[in-house]
Amino acid sequence: MASKPSFRKFALHGWIGLGLAAIFWAVNWGLKGPRSHWAFFPLWLGYALTVDALVLWRTGTSLLTRNWRKFIGLFIVSAPAWWLFEAINARLQNWVYIGEEDFSALKYAAFSTISFSTVIPAVFGAAELAASFGFVKRLGRGLIIRPTRLTTVVFFAAGWAMFVLMLAWPKVFFPFIWLSLYFILEPVNVWLGNRHLARWTERGDWRPVVALWVGVLITAFFWEMWNYFSYPKWLYHVGWGQWLHIFEMPLLGYGGYLPFAMELYALYHLVAGLWGEKKTDYVRIGNEFSE
């Protein structure tokens, strides 16, 4: 019988992560004035390292320990991936940053890029942690969605339709920012032979998708909580659904995190596929289960 995990075996990088998170959480909330732009990255690096160590403690493997170079690559891919959402938000204006006016354009772009680099490592690490939970492993078969020619064409067309509607009428269709990119990119990954979520849904196995959903919600809680007393910080201005806020985020907004995690998965594997990573799945939210 396998021995129960012991915190005495908790990895060193996890303790470093806990220390970073504790220190920079206090810094982020404790200083006055425009102060926390430089604390965001070490805070979220601490989160990523802590979650990675938890995954290692529970499963014996993790993003960092499997391949530290690819772990760094998550940060590199993450920054331009989030800048894509920022570019779309220039039209939608769903969120704004207070305190942005205190920085020059170059300084704002530099610190924003460093901060944005933590999005994918945080979400993918938390998704691997979620994949180790018993209730996710025990999920039964669900809806079967196969990556057939018809399905991929319908997805691709629906994605572009949502994208156009979002840009044409942003006050009404702004939620499509969290759907359209996945519907566009999932078929592209299928056609290019990249990793895609339909590898599991074609068998009715939704556990990787649910792991992404649970992981991103865990991460979203910390994003929104740590943002609440920070400065600079973000605020939401959406056309409808502005009620029952949890921190700055309206309750309905948390639903947008679910397809957002799938968009990140599709974006990452598009880039990984272009770099030739088609056969091995570095992100083990699927390999945690049966292949």
Give one DSSP letter per residue of 139-196, joined into a string. Answer: ----------HHHHHHHHHHHHHHHHHHHHSHHHHGGGGGTHHHHHHHHHHHHHT---
Across residues 147-163, what is the average pLDDT?
Answer: 97
Q: Which among 199, 31, 275, 224 has a CA at the least distance from the CA of 122? A: 224
**Residue length, the chain?**
291
Considering only residues 217 and 243, tell me which one the structure prediction assigns the higher pLDDT: 217
Q: What pLDDT is recorded for position 1?
A: 42
Confidence band of 283 (pLDDT split at 50, 70, 90): confident
Rg (CA), the chain: 19
Q: Which of 19-33, 66-80, 212-226, 262-276 has the lowest mean pLDDT?
A: 19-33
Q: Which of 14-18, 124-128, 155-159, 227-231 has the lowest mean pLDDT?
A: 227-231
Confidence band of 183 (pLDDT split at 50, 70, 90): very high
Confidence band of 5 (pLDDT split at 50, 70, 90): low
Across residues 232-250, what is the average pLDDT?
Answer: 90
The mean of the pLDDT values for the chain is 92
Across residues 251-275, what is the average pLDDT?
Answer: 95
Q: What pLDDT is recorded for position 34?
A: 60
Q: Which of 2-16, 91-105, 148-162, 202-216 has the lowest mean pLDDT?
A: 2-16
Q: What pLDDT is recorded for position 35?
A: 65
Two tokens at 166? Answer: 């979002």
**In degrees rounded to 5, what are phi and psi of residue 203?**
-105, 5
User: What are 19-55's pLDDT values in tens digits?
Assistant: 999 999 998 888 766 667 888 999 999 999 999 999 9
